[in-house]
Amino acid sequence: MPGDRPTHAATIRPALVEIPMWITSRLVHLTRVARWQVGQLADAYPDTAVEQLHVVGRLAIAACLLDAAITAAPLLT
C-alpha cells in the first residue's frame, strides 16, 4: 500500500526544511550573543574607539558564522 512506508520525498523534504531553519535560528542566537558581548565591552570601556568596537563586532559575527558552519557541516553531508 502507498501509505505503509514514507516515500523518499516524504523523508527528504522535512530535512530540507528543518536544517536551514535550524541553521538560521542558530545564527540569529549567536549574533544576538555577539552583539550583547560587544555592548558589554562598550559599557565596560567607554573610551574605546568606535572603530575598535566595529572590529570586535565583525570578529564576533565571523566567529558565529564559523561556529554555525562547523556545527552544520555534518548535517549537510
Structural domain includes residue 35: yes
How far apart, in whole angstroms, are the C-alpha atoms of residue 37 and residue 20?
Answer: 25
Structural domain includes residue 41: yes
The whole domain housing 60 covers 28-76
Kind and range of the H or E element at 26? helix 8-44
* Amino acid 68: pLDDT: 75
Structural domain includes residue 20: no
What share of the chain has pLDDT > 90, as a percent? 0
Closest among 58, 70, 69, 71 to 31, alpha carbons compared: 58
Grid cell for residue 16: 530540507
Give the amino acid at 49: A
Closest among 57, 71, 77, 62 to 22, alpha carbons compared: 71
Reply yes or no on whether the pLDDT at 1 is more than 60.
no
Kind and range of the H or E element at 70? helix 50-76
